Chain A
Amino acid sequence: MGFNGISGVLSAPGEIPWELVLLFFGAGLVFIFIWGKRTGGLAKFTTVDLIYIGIGAAFAVVWEFYIGAFLGKFIPSNPFFGVGYTGRLIALLIVAGLVRKVGVGMVAMFIFNLLSDLISYGFSGEPMYFMYEMLTYGLMMDIVIALAGKNIFGLRSSSRKSSLNKGTSIGNENAVSSNVFSRMPGVYLAAIEGLVIGVLWAIPEPVFYSGFIAPFLYGGVVDWAAIIFGILAFIPSALIIGAIGGVITRRIVRAVGL
């Protein structure tokens, strides 16, 4: 029993070397900073952004501990589909769609994790879980936002512009933009971006949790065959849920009228 339930095992058989984990976290952070500056995704949070983050985290908590927790009981524990994953992904996608700034994924996961500790888990194993949730799920979402910039889920190109100058033809817009993705209808773009985040979110649980955090906290042996199977088995449902989540996000954000 080490500090706060962390055994600090770095040499469990099959455990990912900690240098590699650190490298991913560091490289990811640097990447979202630099790339976010280029695409304009890096900006200061306004007060309303902070409120969106709070509401999204509250939804994720309600799903994780109350609604989803009971629905999940009907489905036996399986590697193909996760009820908790579904709700959390959609809640966080909605926050990302509303805020559309780099860092929203990490801040929202931080609040979600802090709330989970306050409401249910009681800070055991911290700060490892903060790092895990923020720098895997949060960071992966931020990488996609940094890549897509403010246009994530095809939101600005369709809703903002069309509300400003309704008369202009869409053909004009196409001529200006050289990127394939900008010519795509917003719904497809939303589905694709949701899908990418969904698939990225299928990775942390098997790779980072089973491969590093769990052995680091408790020790034990890492079963890489199970990890690879876990990722492959989860991807089909992650694709579908991610795509649906992206479309839902687009609908909600447009209903809110940003």
Chain B
Amino acid sequence: MNYLLVNLISWLIFFFGAAFPILIVLRVIGLTGFMKVTRFENYHTFYYNMNPSVKIMLGIVVTVVAALTIWWIGAILTVVVLFTYLTLKNGKSKFITGFFLTMITIIGTTWAFAPYTPYVILQEAFHNTTITGIWTWPSYFTVMGYQKELSIQGLIYGFQISMRFTAISLISLVLVMTSTPSQVLRAINKIGMPVSITFSLVVAMRTIPRIFEYIDTSVKIQYMRGLGSNAPKTIRPFYMLVGAINAIVPVIVFLVRGAKDTAISADTRAFRAYRTRTHMQPVSIGRADKTAIMMSVLAMFVTAMVVIMGFGRAIPYL
């Protein structure tokens, strides 16, 4: 009896890490949520007035800061970046989507590290030889690479690692949400990348939200045709997953068929007739960019100070 219970709870804990994020995706974010955070919408606040290269630079600065400093600075950065989502168009809904995406990252990363991280690394990370286990896995869990016990230190370690990623993914999405593909194209061409490569990149950037859109449409059509209509209510959300997987190949065919039209319209506008392109709107450094650059310099300065004060990266992330 006891053996059964231990197994049951262990598998519940195991599936919590897998199923909880997916439930958030299916119930709260949905495919339209992904579409919202990967698609450009026109608006006029701070981020929208910035030069795309400065936005890329901001991303790099956030990466560097999060990589060099102790976890709670990453956490503060995450909160700050998340709150700037409120200034975007439909800021509230983007804030909510961003919040849940961050939650998923935290849970996912914690679960990806906590059960697996060897005690040796934990002892090194916490400068402490005692590991406090809170749950003992059944012995066969070690086949999956699990340690003997789930420990508090393991959970904290996983959480701290997640703080390194969350701010970066949030600030990176800002670039996609607030610049048009052609702005990005211009900015990247400026650093000397060939126009054919940037063209592919821009096609890819435009395609990502469209993939979510078409998968969403396809899933809805499958629902209309009765997918999952006889299933009990509790497992019905998972039919969206089934529908999404079914939709992948048709969506690829649909998008690829449209490629010829895109190619014809690009070629008729003399795409790649010359090596370089001229631009109607010059890429300039405006007031918003100057503010952003000032903020990044300040952030780097604060980082340097913080590292000197001894709040540098505290745990080995490997």
Chain A contacts to B: CB under 8 angstroms = 1, 5, 45-48, 50-55, 57-59, 61-62, 66-67, 69-71, 73-74, 76-78, 94, 98, 107, 110-111, 114-115, 117-124, 218, 220, 248, 251-252, 255-257
Contacts and interface: CB of A to CB of B under 8 A. Distances in A.
B76 interface: no
A111 B204 contact: yes
Contact of B144 (A45, A62, A76, A122): A76
Contacts of A59: 207, 211, 252
A256 B263 contact: no
Interface string B7-46: 0000000110111011001000000001000100000000
Given A71-B241, A110-B197, 10 more contacts: A58-B203, A62-B212, A76-B146, A77-B112, A77-B144, A78-B144, A98-B256, A118-B59, A123-B56, A124-B168
Contacts of B197: 107, 110-111
A248 B19 CA distance: 29
Contacts of B108: 69, 73
Contacts, number: 153
A167 to B, nearest CB: 28
Which 3 interchain pairs have the tightest Cβ spacing? Answer: A54-B203, A58-B207, A48-B263
Contacts of B266: 47, 51
B112 A118 contact: no
B211 A58 contact: yes
B263 A73 contact: no
Contacts of B68: 1
B145 A78 contact: yes
A46 B263 contact: yes
B40 to A, nearest CB: 13
B137 to A, nearest CB: 12
B79 interface: no
Contacts of A54: 199-204, 207
19 contacts: A45-B196, A51-B203, A51-B262, A51-B263, A54-B201, A55-B204, A55-B259, A57-B204, A59-B211, A62-B208, A67-B245, A70-B22, A74-B15, A76-B14, A78-B145, A111-B197, A119-B176, A121-B63, A256-B256
Given A62-B208, A66-B34, A118 B175 contact: yes
A57 B244 CA distance: 19
Nearest to A73: B18
Contact of B116 (A55, A57, A77, A107): A77
Main secondary structure of the interface of B (DSSP, over half): helix
Contact of B255 (A55, A76, A119): A55
A121 B176 contact: no
A94 B203 CA distance: 16
B267 to A, nearest CB: 5
Interface in B41-93: 56, 59-60, 62-64, 67-68
Contacts of A58: 203-205, 207-208, 211
A71 B282 CA distance: 43
Which of A1, A50, A255 has its CB near the most chain B CB atoms (within 10 A)?
A50
A230 B197 CA distance: 34
Contacts of A115: 201, 204-205, 208
A48 B256 CA distance: 10
Nearest to B199: A50
A122 B200 contact: no
A77 B165 CA distance: 19
Interface string B232-246: 000000000100110
Nearest to B141: A76
Given A115-B205, A119-B172, A122-B59, A55 B144 contact: no
B60 A122 contact: yes
A111 B200 contact: yes
